[in-house]
Amino acid sequence: MITRRAVLRGVTGAAVGIAAGGALAACGGGDEEPAAAKASATPRKGGKLRAAFIGGSAESTDPTLAANVGVDYVRARLVWDTLGELDGGKPVWRLAESVEPNADATRWTVRIRKGVTFSDGRPLTADDVLFSLRTLVQKRSPQGGFITHLDLKKARAKDARTVELPLTMADGFFDLALAHSMFVFPDGTKNFAKAPGSGPYVLKKWQAGRSSVLAPREGYWDAAGGGPYLDELELISVTDAAARLSGLKAGQFEYACGLALTAVRTERGNDALRIELPPKDLWVDLSLPMNLGLKPFTDERVVRAVKLALDRESLVRTVTLGQGEVGNDLVGAHQPYFDDGIAQTAYDPERARKLLAEAGAGGLSLRIRTSNYDYGTEESATAIVPMLAKAGIRATLDKVPAADYYSDFKTILSTPVQTAAYHPNPLPLMIRTYYGSAAPFPITGTGDAAKVDPLIAAMNRATGDKQRAARMADLQEYLHDQGGEALFARVPTVSGAAAKAHGIKARGYADYPSLRDAFVE
């Protein structure tokens, strides 16, 4: 099962702690930069790059645990290659040469790339892939939560380069799961902290809570496609966001993730730095989810009234400092299969008042559970209170310490209304994570399971882009009109790079960018 922290942390979970100073606990990845900051350079060999990321007390070199800490995941992407990665919400195959379903998407066949070796010289085989997938599920690694319906007993290596993966349910989007950080290590690995990888770098030195030093490896299978370019790469754990920016400006490192939104403005004129934003499909969704199984939200008119009471344009200006965009009560904007033809939820406090009166809920009082665990959640809750008042709703805040916010999972699932920051995953996986009776994190409850479950089942059975798009559109129309998500804004994550640092890309995860092709001028 996906851990409770993991589901709100994108790929994996990376419970990376709170970035001080109102910073985002993430980094940009540099795929999309402000127009004025665009830079181009020709990759070159040599040099050293130092990059600062958010660390934590649980740091480890075990790839099955990497998703729990930001700096660990960034390191793991360099040491252990994956079956595939995501680009614009679609799979780009790495160690897998191809991934294909049968007619009803109950069995998938993975063809392994030829000529790949681990850093100890062993060739990559189908047995390694099967062992790695089994391990990720059995050890309950966060990314393993996306393939729990893999039938482990019946999965087999058909030959040295072919793996057959039967499922316990139809899943037309299983390719997205397999492109979701499935690290591969040798069959029979016992000490995962020292498992050989097939990635571009090898770990030379590691001090928990301080830094990791990596060197390029000989015989990297994809060297013709890009890196490794650097002679040495150092990943540095820096908990405080202000310290990451200060260190970047002082030349202590050449890249830093998890910067405060204010850096977009304060460093705009700094020619020594580039402030970078990820593509919009990798932005964070800010929402006010309502549990449809709990009063007063068992009445759809009350749910609709809350959605209408939110001045989304104002929230974008204040909470996201004008850097974000308006949300439309649906997760995953700008991703493949997102339905951007659905009409935007309006700001209409008078209509909200009328709906509450019709529901017999005039003078409604709400207590909103919130925390500063993520940037924008507590800030938005504070801004939402006077907006609800204009619709006749008296709201107060239940501010929970960040360290305690996810400690009581039962409380989260039994709270009528609370704030949330959804870090991006591929849209179909996000929907299965948050909605329906089988969801591991149904923050809007399962009160609508009888309606939403058949729509999710139809989505799961869809194969081919035409069917996928149609079933996704049906599901999103329902979630927009009858779901419990008042998703009001989307906010970018922010990172910074010295002028001489290049080639750092999100490749599916703005929170944990890929440094595979990083280089310095």
| Domain identity same for 52 and 35 | yes
The predicted model gives 26-47 an average pLDDT of: 61
Res. 383: pLDDT tops 60: yes
| Domain identity same for 213 and 136 | no
Q: Among 196, 219, 246, identify where a domain stops.
A: 196
Give the 3-state secondary structure of residue 300. helix
Q: Among 168, 196, 224, identify where a domain stops.
A: 196
Res. 27: pLDDT tops 70: no
Number of domains in the chain: 3
HEC secondary structure over 430-499: HHHHHCCCCCCCCCCCCCCHHHHHHHHHHHHHCCCHHHHHHHHHHHHHHHHHHCCEEEEEEECCCEEEEC
Token pair, residue 290, equals 């309502």
Res. 26: pLDDT tops 50: no
> What is the rounded distance in angstroms from the CA atom of residue 433 to the CA atom of residue 416?
19
| Domain identity same for 4 and 153 | no
| Domain identity same for 238 and 266 | yes
Can you give the CATH number for the domain in which 103 is found? 3.90.76.10
Phi-psi region of 189 (alpha: psi -120 to 50; beta: other; left: phi over 0): beta
| Domain identity same for 335 and 454 | yes
The predicted model gives 402-408 an average pLDDT of: 75
Pairing of strands 156-159, 201-207: unpaired
Number of H helices, E strands in the chain: 13, 21
Q: What pTM was estimated for this model as a whole? A: 0.87
The predicted model gives 410-427 an average pLDDT of: 93
| Domain identity same for 507 and 418 | no
The predicted model gives 176-197 an average pLDDT of: 95
Q: How confident is the model at residue 117 (pLDDT cuts 50, 70, 90)?
A: very high
Give me the chain's average pLDDT, please: 90
| Domain identity same for 166 and 46 | no
pLDDT number for residue 372 = 85
pLDDT number for residue 324 = 95
The predicted model gives 223-250 an average pLDDT of: 92
| Domain identity same for 300 and 403 | yes
| Domain identity same for 292 and 151 | no
Can you give the CATH number for the domain in which 30 is found? 3.40.190.10
Res. 310: pLDDT tops 90: yes
| Domain identity same for 473 and 511 | no
pLDDT number for residue 380 = 96
pLDDT number for residue 29 = 54
The predicted model gives 414-422 an average pLDDT of: 95
CB 480 within 8 A of CB 490: no
Task: Of 153-167, 283-297, 496-510, give the lowest mean pLDDT range.
Answer: 496-510
Angle, vertex CA 89, rays to CA 486 and CA 316, nearest 5? 35
| Domain identity same for 3 and 126 | no
Token pair, residue 26, equals 């993430």
pLDDT number for residue 83 = 97
pLDDT number for residue 18 = 25
| Domain identity same for 158 and 257 | no
Q: Which residues form the domain of 32? A: 1-79+199-279+494-521
Task: Of 38-52, 429-443, 491-505, 507-521, give the lowest mean pLDDT range.
Answer: 38-52
94-113 pLDDT tens trace = 999 999 999 999 999 999 99
> Sign of the C-alpha dihedral, residues 441, 447, 451, 454?
positive
